[in-house]
Structure 1
Amino acid sequence: MIHSRRRSDLMWLAATVAAAFLGSLIPLLSNNRFYYYDDTQAGAFGIWFEIGTKLSAGEWPLFSDSAWGAGNYAAEGQWGIWNPLILLIGWLASTSANIVVFSTILKIVFLCVLAAGTFLLARSYQAKPEWSAIAGVAVTLTGFTVYIDAASWVTGLMVFSLLPLTWFGLRRMAFNGGNPIFALIPAYVLITIGYVHGTLMLVIVFVGLLLEARLTGGRRSARRLLLAGLVCGLTAMAVYLPGLLTAPVTARSGGIENTGFLTPDLTGLFTAWVPGSLPQVTGWWGGFATVPLLYVAWFLPVLTIVDYAKVKAAGRELTALWVVGLVSLALTLAPSDLGPLRFPIRIMPYVSLAVLVALSVLVSRFRVPALSRGRIIATAATVLAGLYLAWSQFPSFRVAALYGLLAAAGIAALLFFLYVPRLRTGFRGPVVLAGGVVLISMVIAAGQHLAFTSSPLPDYRMPDTPGSYSRQLPGAEGGTFIVGDPTKLGPEIWNETLASNAWYMNAAEVQNLYSPIMFANYAEDLCISSHGWTCAAAAGKLFETDPATGKVLADLLSIDTVQLLRDPDSESNEAFNGAPPGGWHEAGRSADSVVWVRDQPRLNTGQLVWSSEGTALSLVSESSREVVLRVDRMGDAPGKAVLSRLAWPGYEADGAVVSAPLRGYLLELDIPAGSAGQSVTVRFEPPGWPLVLACIILAVGATAAWSVAELVRRRRRESRAQPVSGGGETARDAVAAG
């Protein structure tokens, strides 16, 4: 019986993954670059490529002084430096022949993982296989997941895809005595991706499961969950502690406020079953979403056929579902800025997950046996109200009505299938039910992608192949800075320049990289955005004289090459049309860009760029994380020195003292009097580093030890439960014969 159920579940699981795979191909029918938008172009792939490049060179991607505001990988968190899956993805990305194809395959794999995890999670709550499969496929077709996370915000997709699998593993470990390794491995991978919203939702899952264990009398389950939570907490400490300790110098700290940016409302959520609804969500696209951003599933109104009196009686065992659903809904409706957490709509996928799993469980276990007139009226009222609100939010758009009516017809057909007894038994089976619901879901998804062919986030139209990123700035020398915004100039500009983390695929040592945290004072001084592009005023700023040192800022930043981009919004383009300053020459010009190169490049990124009068130092050795200087000459008074490095928290010096940074961001040293002939060693170590290492070692060690101990204990228990062997039978026979 058990083996038969397992075989059946495996077949349903395989079918769910296969259907999700087919559904993930639908966007490609109208847009073959659908999975390569915005942050995937500007951020993620460049990170993967750099990780793979460093690994191939035998380096671990921890810190880069030449990457400036984007080079503190431990504080960034989302580099996944502790994550073996991300490291593997990075290595594969650095060897890929086509960036778009690689990104597409990767995201489809995660969508399939999401479908599988959701199926397993629903089954763990005793949903029927057909409804578990429906939930597994539907969650991969939800609006925010498809049009935002899958198209662009890939780290969001990754952690969301892993959450249901982790949740399933935790339930199996806590309530069914499953080995903790099947919960802790996906939890470790989820946390070390470094996307804080995924970790936050995992905490909420733990809280829900602990309440579930408490209400169902499972003390042993609660203890196992607490131990697993401790292991996950150690992992989270290792991932997020450097970022927390670095936060005072970054642009991500802040208070609580509501600008209304990327904050959905209840009206939009009520229309989550209408496939063409364009909710009132303010974003980069304007006041209304240009795609069905809050769409969850067309069949949500069938929640009216659930007997909620029975749900109340059995509700304790579903506690985690209620907790995750309610808390994620509250966070989705939260203010736009909760300290470092921004864009509450990011939590929308977790609302969708909770709703779809809950629906699959409730309809499976608590569906009313007969459809009363009152429930028919309630369903019709829900449908009509949803259609009206979808129309009222964006009344000029007919697709909302068209696909809304299609969904309404699907709901009517589903209710007919479930409750009309005249259908032959062969047409009422679970395969037909799941197949019909999934088929309608696919048709609706195809219709959505005919009407909305792309993400509302930008497509910068960057090249498809890694080789296309090597020809820009061929004459660049040393540290390089890009002035301007290349995205204003059209895709042809990528023959001359790049943007954000795409520079990792180019030989030039460019400072303008993507950083979600940024070094605040550095970014403000040079008006550089998180994506790396700047305002036109940065050109003048680079060649201003710093009053404290008397040095030109470009010298303090070790910049040897400057590329200026034409600003199509400016009539003058003064710097672009002007001549380079003294000591520089024009190395190339086109209609959209001009390149200035220093006559005598200094090639001294990360090194000494200024010392006070009477103090002379020389370089002994230098790397990203360490500089060794020799004090050649020193006056009677203490001296100062400035290095062309951002003063990230974590720098320490032997033979000198790290002082307040120059201009609020450049690393400055105080050198004691009488230091002539001595060495000064400056090292960087992410703040809290010994504790970070201890947490990782403890988390991995505890996972391995607990998992092995559970395996040994289970084998011993199974061995004791086995019947006596044939020798025992022979002895009894002998006694009987005697």
Structure 2
Amino acid sequence: MITQTAARGGATAAGSPSVAAAGPAAPWRDRVLTGVGVYAGYVVLQVLQLFVLSRLAPRFFWYDDAQAQFGPMTWWLGRHMEGGRPPLMDPEQGQAGNLVADMQYGALDPLHWGLQALAARTDDVVLMSWVFATLSVLLLGLGLLTLLRHHGVHPAIALAGALGTASSGFLLWYGSAWWPLLWSVAWLPWFWWGLVSRRTVGVVVLAVSTWALLASGNPYILFFALALVLAHAVELVRDARSLRGLLAGPVVARLLAMSAGLAMALPTLLSTVQMSPYIERQEADPLVGNVGFAVPNLADVVLGSPTLMGQTNAWSGSLSLAPAMYTFLVAVAALALVDWRRALRSPGVLTAAAVLVLAVVFTQLPTTVAVFRYPVRYLVVVQVVLPVLVLLALTAAPLLTRPRLALAAGLIGVQALLAAFRAPVFFRWHALAAVLTVVAVAALVLALGRAAGPRGDRGRRVAGAAAVVLVLSAWGTVFVGEQMMVSLSDRADVLDARPDLGDTPFRVFGSYDPTGSTVQDYRRQLVATDSAATVITPGFGGDFGWGAGVIRGNGNLLGDFATGTGSFAVWQLAQNAHWCRNYQGATCGDPQLLLAEAPGVGVPWIDLLSSDRVLISDAAPEPLRAHFEQPGWTLVRQAGVFREYQREDGLPGRVTAARGADVAEVPGGVGLGRGDGPMDSYTVSTGGSAGQLALRTTWWPGMEATVDGQSIPVGTVDGAVLRLDLPAGLDGARLEISYVPIGERILVPSFVVAGVLLVAALAVWVLTDRRGPRGAAGRRHRAPAEVAA
């Protein structure tokens, strides 16, 4: 029966099996109940999946950069909120302390403020990581489900697709380290749905998702949001058979909605642009322009499976030991089950195909292109868009002939063979993944075939059972890879002769994780809390600095310990030339650069940039250790592998050099930069001649200074730190230093403009709905599934 149906040409776009199952003949109450049931079922199954994963791998999302950068900073920002807003700068964190320069933190984004406030409500950092991941995964899955239902995909198949895609490999295994990936990708299907939805609420969703994507901190996703817009515009022109399709009222309303989203994201975007001339990022290889690192093999990209260990193209690279190459497990095989000539004429298919091709091409870019690096990051877009393309195309034009079924089986075989080539020792896991994929594809075929044929009681039972098998297969895929990684961890323990770590999945950047799971654990371990000091260490070791009491990256912020450094995605260009810091905050480079005298201030760079307290590791270069034995510094204590020194120059606050000026700190005058007030306040006197102050505060555009309320020019020491030239004749004048980036100045106006644009978008939409072809006739042609959704 399946092949007979397919031989007649399959279901048409209007009479596809999914639409037939949920068409207008069904009472509206049934459609609503079906829609609610599908959404409730997705939420329950997704939460259950993540709950089981949390029991199998409790620290899955507290890993690598999540542990060293995003988690601690998110918690710290939430704990230091005032008036519902986080600080913009903490000079005690050195060049890592400009929280606006790294857009991943969302210092000027109210959506991030909500996440920060939520994170600050708990001291259990592992729980915090799971809450963030759960919110992101649910947001993604619900968006996918809404998009698929809008296009008429059968409820059960859409549910399986949402589950399988929202737990795809790159999203989970790399998103567990890079939280901005989770947050940004979660908004992509909502943006897509906002572009195509015929509902008024779609205008609001489009505005909010545009805002969220632009301010997400993941600029890599923006290429594909733009591609969605352009590809959808092509579909509009194709369907209207004229460019006039781009002038319709709904299109104008959507453009206004996207403009509103852009206005809301402008504080983040313009501040990033303002900082960009003064930041440093990894540059392209000077020899051939590409080192090949993190460039995935094209075969791995297009034939990903649940157990595939992706291989990079770097000659000296190694196998990526994470099952990150898979998506919804039937997606690749189901490509063979579509009549693509007919499918490409159906709504959404051309858009999905265009974005997929672009994403696949982007995965093959050089390692570094301008400020963008590691093209393996684009793999997540492939894994989100491929299932959408396949399910939309299957809904519109299934082709379930025997030759196509054989081709699908062949694709599954090739997937298994490639996975076995990459990691032959796990052939049993590859076989299990192949069997699971065969079962899932068979269930998909049965569900599609039975829906297209006669629907007696037996047919309904078969279709229902097939749908359950498909959903459960999608739900369980993630556990195949997770358990395979547990077996890999056991194998590594034996080969490396190390203690058995239990049922812990292997992770490249540390299967053994000694760090704590609560804020109290961190506070007990750190050499200092609720204070600031400059830490000088060449590295943090295999335990991430846990044993030494100074942790890599931002981890020390969980004890409110500012170390003059932190995690880096961007560096302040001028300062990093004098005090090199690696991405985890360790000191690198030639020590003589730090010991050289800073121009115009008469002190070496190491004194100019250091706090009044310095913790220097016994493993630091000997010239740096010897420097602190000289006059001007006093040894206070030996704290494990660190020696603590205190500065004895008598200068207050963050002032590290002064000429021709007497300066004293105003009580409580040194704090965080918040934009609405000073972060430094001093009293200064200069007598009959001008004076000069230099501070250890890293200079960034947006720095301002006033003396008794009057603005004075803000200078720098070689572009690295703040220098102030004070006029003569000051006697106890009040000096205030503030940080006001452009995003802070336009924050309120931007949201006012956004509100106006959104109201205009809604007005255009409503007027068009009443007057134009989108009126009653338009509503009659609305996709049946959209009503239920």
Task: Tell whether the structures are fold-level matches, with TM greater than 0.5.
Answer: yes
SS in 1 for 2:326: coil
Q: Distance in 2 between matches of 1:200 and 1:125?
A: 23
The change in CA–CA distance for 1:196 and 1:407 in structure 2 (over 3 A counts) is same
Deviation at 1:449, TM superposition (A): 0.8
Matched, 1:123 2:127: no
**1:685 correspondence with 2:740:** yes
Q: Distance in 1 between matches of 2:284 and 2:474?
A: 41
Give the 5 Å matches for 1:321-720: 321-368=352-399, 370-372=400-402, 374-399=403-428, 401-407=430-436, 409-410=438-439, 413-414=442-443, 417=446, 425-426=458-459, 429-452=462-485, 453-458=505-510, 461-472=514-525, 479-484=532-537, 487-490=540-543, 493-494=546-547, 496-535=549-588, 545-546=597-598, 548-567=600-619, 580-589=629-638, 593-598=641-646, 600=648, 604-606=652-654, 608-612=655-659, 614-616=660-662, 624-625=672-673, 626=678, 627=680, 632-633=685-686, 639-653=691-705, 658=713, 661-671=716-726, 682-687=737-742, 689-691=744-746, 693-703=748-758, 706-707=761-762
* 1:156 to partner: Cα distance: 0.9
CA change 1:52–1:704 in 2 (3 A) is farther
Going from structure 1 to structure 2, the CA distance change for 1:478 and 1:457 (only over 3 Å counts) comes to closer
Which residue among 167, 172, 196 is the counterpart of 1:171? Answer: 196
Q: Distance in 2 between matches of 1:480 and 1:469?
A: 17
Could you say which residue in structure 2 is the equivalent of 1:306? 338
Flag the 1:280–1:666 CA change in 2: closer, same or farther, 3 A: same
Deviations 1:151-173 (A, max 9, x none): 2111210111122123223321x
Task: Report the 3-state secondary structure (helix = DSSP H, G, I; strand = E; otherwise coil) of the residue aligned with 2:137.
Answer: helix
Give SS of 2:613's match. strand
Deviation at 1:619, TM superposition (A): 5.3
Cα distance, 1:640 vs structure 2: 3.8
Do the aligned partners of residues 477 and 12 (structure 1) sit closer, same or farther apart at CA in structure 2, a change above 3 Å counting?
closer
Q: Which of 154, 166, 172 is the matching residue for 2:179?
A: 154
In terms of mean alpha carbon deviation, does 300-309 or 353-362 score higher? Answer: 300-309
Q: Is the 8 A contact 1:41 1:462 kept in 2?
A: no
Q: What's the CA shift string for 1:383-426, capped at 9, x where partnerless? A: 33333333333445425632343245326633773559999735
Cα pair 2:64 2:177 within 8 Å, conserved:
yes
Give yes or no for contact 1:213–1:222 (8 Å, CA) kept in 2.
no
Range 546-555 or range 92-101, more displaced: 546-555
Write the distance in 2 (CA, Å) between the matches of 1:556 and 1:352: 49
Which residue of 232, 236, 242 corresponds with 1:209?
232
TM-score, structure 1 as length reference: 0.85
Does the CA-based 8 Å contact 1:615-1:635 persist in structure 2? no
- Cα shift at 1:623: 5.1
Distance 1:125 1:604, change over 3 A: farther
For residue 145 of structure 1, the aligned residue among 171, 193, 202 is 171
The question of whether the paired residues in 2 share the 8 Å contact of 1:125 and 1:318 is answered with no
- Aligned twin of 2:61: 35
Q: Which amino acid aligns with 1:2?
A: W
Q: Structure 2 vs 1, CA of residues 58 and 595 (structure 1 numbering), >3 Å: closer, same or farther?
A: farther
In structure 2, give the amino acid aligned to 1:610.
A
Q: Find 1:98's aligned residue among 101, 124, 140.
A: 124
Tell me if the contact between 2:252 and 2:764 (Cα under 8 Å) persists in the aligned partners: no
Q: How does 1:41-120 map to 2 (within 5 A)?
A: 41-55=67-81, 60-120=86-146
Q: Name the CA shift for 1:165/1:134 in 2 (closer, same or farther; >3 Å).
A: same
Deviations 1:209-240 (A, max 9, x none): 33332322242232122212222222332211
Following the alignment from structure 1 to structure 2, what is the Cα–Cα distance between the partners of residues 666 and 576? 23
Q: Does the 8 Å CA contact 2:94/2:698 hold for their aligned counterparts?
A: yes
Distance of aligned partners of 1:68 and 1:39 in 2 relative to their CA distance in 1, 3 Å threshold: same
Contact persistence 2:95–2:575 (CA under 8 A) = yes
Q: Is the 8 A contact 1:390 1:400 kept in 2?
A: no
Looking at structure 2, the residues matched to 477 and 49 of structure 1 have their Cα atoms a distance apart, in angstroms, of 15
Kindly report which structure 2 residues correspond to 1:272-283, keeping only aligned pairs within 5 A, or say none.
272=304, 274-281=305-312
1:732 counterpart residue number: none
Is contact 2:611-2:696 (8 Å) kept?
no
Q: Residue 528 of structure 1: CA displacement? A: 1.0
| Structure 1 residue 578: Cα displacement | 10
**What is the RMSD computed on CA atoms of the aligned residues?**
3.7
- Contact 1:478 / 1:603 at 8 angstroms: preserved in 2? no
Contact between 1:114 and 1:160, CA under 8 Å: does it hold in 2?
yes
State the shift of 1:208 in Å. 2.8
How many residue pairs match? The answer is 704
Greater mean alpha carbon deviation, residues 181-190 or residues 130-139: 181-190
- The equivalent residue for 1:227 is 256
Q: How far apart are the structure 2 equivalents of 1:696 and 1:398?
A: 55
> CA–CA distance in 1 between the matches of 2:531 and 2:141?
47
- Is residue 66–residue 605 contact of structure 1 (8 Å, CA) maintained in 2? no
Asked whether the 8 Å contact 2:567–2:585 carries over to 1, the reply is yes
- Residues 545 and 251 from structure 1, CA distance in 2 versus in 1: closer, same or farther, beyond 3 angstroms? same
CA spacing shift, 1:163–1:617, aligned 2, 3 Å: same
The change in CA–CA distance for 1:518 and 1:311 in structure 2 (over 3 A counts) is: same
Q: Percent identity?
A: 19
**1:263 alignment partner in structure 2:** 295
Secondary structure of the residue that 1:90 maps to in structure 2? helix
Return closer, same or farther for 1:514/1:106 CA change in 2, 3 Å cut-off.
same
- TM-score computed with the length of structure 2 as normaliser: 0.80
Answer whether contact 1:147 1:456 (CA < 8 A) is retained.
no
Distance 2:103 2:544 in 1: 30
Q: Which residue of 2 aligns with 1:243?
A: 272
CA distance in structure 1 between the aligned counterparts of 2:693 and 2:232, rounded to whole angstroms: 55
Q: CA deviation at 1:355?
A: 0.7
Counterpart contact for 1:214–1:222, Cα < 8 Å: no
* Deviation of 1:98 (Å): 1.3
Q: CA deviation at 1:548?
A: 3.6
The one-letter amino acid of 2:181's match is G
Instruction: Give the secondary structure class of the aligned counterpart of 2:601.
Output: coil
In the alignment, is the contact (CA less than 8 A) between 2:203 and 2:762 conserved in 1?
Answer: yes
Partner AA of 2:465 in structure 1: V
String of CA shifts for 1:544-596, please: whole Å, max 9, x gaps: 544542224344235122223354xx9x9786799844343444436x51231
Contact map agreement 2:363 2:375 (CA 8 A) in 1? yes
| Larger relative contact order (CA 8 Å, sep ≥ 6) | 2
